[in-house]
Structure 1
Amino acid sequence: MIDIPFTLDQLRILKAIAAEGSFKRAADSLYVSQPAVSLQVQHLERQLDVPLFDRGGRRAQLTEAGRLLLSYGDRILSLCQETCRAIDDLQNLNGGTLIIGASQTTGTYLMPRMIGLFRKKYPDVAVQLHVHSTRRTAWSVANGQIDLAIIGGEVPPELKEDLEILPYAEDELALVLPILHPLATVNVLQKEELYKLQFITLDSQSTIRKVIEQVLTKSGIDPRQLSVEMELNSIEAIKNAVQAGLGAAFLSVTAIEKELQMGAMHRVAIEGVEIKRTLCQVRNPNRYRSRATEAFCNEILPLFSDHLAVASAASI
């Protein structure tokens, strides 16, 4: 039997130093002393007979051997966590943790309602929600850091063969106007009338904006000729700007249900144009699938797939 020249604690220390960039900050994050961290690294380097850090600079930089060990160490620690969760899962949903990922709009407006319903049914299961970009979320699923995710963007091509990607629901992006806008008295606009509007948008690299521009282009509308009044970095900021009368915007119906019901903004259709994107459920088929994950997928997700369709129709 081969002696393993490192411990899980040493792998955790290595990961913390790489993340924090210094031995001191790593020690603080792990609630141990800096000498203890330094001593463990020295033992690890002695056991492996290779240096793991370049100690010449101000920031702790991994050597090639250090980067290799960190890569395998991440996988080992992830598998250890998965093992513990699989054992906890034997308790028939009387404990354990469900980790869900989502891209920005879905994570902000849809997931909290899903989690609320799940927690009512399974109050003993702890739920974590990680809201990040589609790319980062997909990588977290691939690495086993997230059990499942609902995303609205494109999964990175290099991950498509490793992940299970299932269409989940259609999310409609509606054109909304301030309630005092001159065109707020009509329900349908002609395509050419879009060029008369002042738009508030997310930045040009956002997934939602790319979807909108692609659909408009296919519908014979040139997005480059639309007048963009301002670019904001959040959906909430755009909603507030529309309600303040600063311009029009394309927003997901999941994000504006309350505002439309309250009459705080006016939704208007575009003749012959419907802007939708497909939300996808993403899972890693090679990872252990807990009972909590199965319960969420089988009992919660179908309810909100129907809810999205109803919300889209009701907001017209």
Structure 2
Amino acid sequence: MHENSISFLEILNRLCDQNQPFPAKLLKYFSDLSSEQESMLAERWPQLENSRKISLLEDLEDRSERDTLVDFTCTGKVALKDEDEAVREAALRLLWDCEDKGFIHTFVNILRTDASHRVRSVAASLLGRFVLLGETDELGIEDKTRVEEALIESHQVDNDKLVKRRALESLGYSGREEISQLIHDAMSTKDTDWISSGLYAMGRSADTKWADFILQYLQNPAPSIREEAVRAAGELQLNSTSEILLDMLEQEEDDDVKFAIIWALSQIGGEGVREALVKQAEMIDDEEYLDFIEKALDNLDFNEELSHFDLIDIDSLDDTE
């Protein structure tokens, strides 16, 4: 059968033939499913082994990251109802970029009731996107409140630490007054994980009041804390951290922290940043590292251009006064 005329039934037959690898070229047929196709997939889904389901969902996730025109929402929706927690987790990851408010009830219900703490933690992280949409007035106040209340509830009553942390991280976007206290509570612990989550939430707050906290943790002995402090400094574009980050770039041995430093510097900019990034590119012969620095330099260009336009706007306002 010619690929252009292949039916969805044939696609499902190929998927259910678990003795053969599922061809990557057929993944696109799981995009933009009609109601009939979604029902067909739901009917055949229980026939698949869990490993086959997870492999498909992960392949679709990878495809969606490389192709912004595909939409595997309906496939993820079917997989969310699976009995296996690893399949449900993979389904949520496939729906990571979902901004359809029609899913809010589903995601909140998963956060509150799913038996798996791993699934609940992913749901908590995923709901952060809707908190951000609420803060940017792209989500109605009723939906925004529903999401925030569910996350606050999970942070308070869930019996799993990871779920609580992910809820706090998502609440970092929220402008609600009580969120600051939740962040303070996390920072007052001596727990590396909680401090990392507190810093993560600070980076999402768009509030430079956290600058002193972030400065305090930039050179913490724990790599995970350093990484989140660096990320927060970049997200908040804290100019006061630029010199420290440039020094850290020369000395840091942890790869994850070093990547975070490079990206944070591209967000903050300032004197010596471009030269430092170019120097890093000249020193290391690693394709992944070089690609990342190239992206960071592009991001630096973008942010510097944005700052230039902001200055023009300020000058224009001054001229009109």
TM bucket normalised to smaller: under 0.3
| Rg comparison, structure with higher value | 1
TM-score when scaled to structure 1? 0.24
TM-score when scaled to structure 2? 0.24
Query: Greater share of strand residues, 1 or 2?
Result: 1
Query: Greater share of helix residues, 1 or 2?
Result: 2
